[in-house]
Amino acid sequence: RNHPPLAPPPAGGVSMASLHNLCASLWPTARALALYFGPLLLGIGAAWLIERSAIRTHSRGPRVSDAQANALHALNLALTLLLPCAYSYWGDLSYGAGIVLLLLACTLFMKLTSWAHAHHDLRLANAEALEESAAQSPPPPGATHDFSSLAATISRFATDVQHTESAAHYPHTVTMPRLLYFVFAPTLCYQEAFPRSPSVRPVYVLSLLLRGLVMCLIIVFISVQMIHPLLRNSEPAVVARDMPKLLERLIKLALPVTYVWLAGFYVFFHVWMNLLAELLRFGDRLFYKAWWNAVTFEAYWRLWNLPVHHWIARHVYFPALRKRLSKAAVGFIAFTVSAVFHELVIALPLKSGHMPLAFLAMMAQVPLVAVSAAINARVAGTPFAQLGNYLFWIAFCFLGQPAAVLLYYVHCTGVLYH
């Protein structure tokens, strides 16, 4: 109000002062974008450079050894995940922006982990192929590495999947376009070639956009008109520690929270994933199965998020089994990894590290998996065969999620401290 009015621009164009003011106003936004998303972009470039360095021959420059490449990948993965975590916790991001940033960071971390693991195996396969080729016909002195033997080895296991990418094999697949395609593709597991659809269907893309818009509006409406008033009305009961009143609020929260959860699942796993797949002509469109019919908690976690399930199976579960660990120990490790990612995405933006609800909720699935499996074994083939499904919906919709929403609301608003 006390600032002098801005002078009108000169007749010949925009003044230097107005350009300076415009740049000054855009600089904080640009700095924030570079600060928050810069590590993600640098992580992509570093992963590509590491693999390019690992396949160089003496005629093209120094070659990074397998051990050095693995160490560089580990450092790059740590920075890709930890820097966004630090920005989200100590920065001035809003809750929503912090959650989106950490979702992107965790997704990229998982993708680059798969990229590193897959190329580690490809380097080992290449070394074995070279040894086999050298044993059959030793190369002349001064010859560079020949990768045709690896291509021949891989071609023996090729499938007849139609509409895939080109038949190129390692190291010709270590290119930035292929890495960028994998980063944006709706999958977490890297492979040299993905099944591709023939073309993009504009009408289908438009229908996905309309469905996503409608469901997002429904989520906003339920959150603003139903969930938020119930949370506000729960504050006196929280302050007074009125357990009967809190139980009543949890029961009232169960239905709208379930609606938002199901709508969010539809928007992300059906609309968004299929939209990405359609725009990128990604052929594998199986992102979930009929988890709503699960009679055990193990079946639910195996069916409801197939990209994450495949990533954990490929990069956590089976590698741990190859270390001669028991299946119980490997299952515990898999749930621990999932719990850590859930906690990072939720706790750091909400500054609730002292209240690890997401981590504890995920680790609570370990005994629930055993209990639900025992119950299902008892009632299988009886009229109560769907008892496990009832227990699953009760645990998620009437106990777990409403309680988590209420506790996080209490933490974020500081009701108990005010």
As a whole number of angstroms, the longest Cα–Cα distance in the chain is 86
CA distance 371 to 33: 46
What SS3 state is found at 282? Answer: strand
Give the pair of three-digit tokens for residue 224. 């603003």
- What SS3 string covers 173-231? CCCHHHHHHHHHCCCCCCCCCCEECCCCCHHHHHHHHHHHHHHHHHHHHHHHHHHHHHH
Q: How many degrees, rounded to 5, is the angle at CA 243 between CA 241 and CA 246?
A: 95
Residue 392 in contact with residue 411, Cβ under 8 Å? Answer: no
Residues 6 or more apart whose Cβ sits within 8 Å of residue 106: 81, 341, 344, 345
Task: Find the catalytic residue in 342, 354, 411, 418.
Answer: 342
Tokens standing for residue 94: 């809003």
The single-letter DSSP state of residue 13 is S
CB count, 10 Å around CB of 211? Answer: 16
| Residue 163 annotated among the catalytic residues of the structure | no
Q: Which residues of 53-63 are buried (b: 16+ CB within 10 A; e: fewer)?
A: bbbeeeeeeee
Nearest C-alpha neighbor of 178 from the set 199, 198, 164: 164
CA atoms of 143 and 139, how far apart (whole Å):
6
- Separation in Å, CA 304 to CA 36, 270, 299, 333: 30, 11, 8, 19
Cis status of the peptide bond prior to 171, with omega within 30 of 0: yes
Q: What angle, rounded to 10 degrees, do the helices at 66-90 and 95-136 form?
A: 180
3-class SS at 91?
coil
Residue 262 has which token pair? 């199901």
Instruction: Give the CA angle between residues 20, 21, 22 to the nearest 5°.
Output: 90
Q: CA–CA separation, 187 vs 346, rounded Å?
A: 22
**Distance linking the first and last C-alpha atoms of the chain:** 33
Catalytic residues: 342
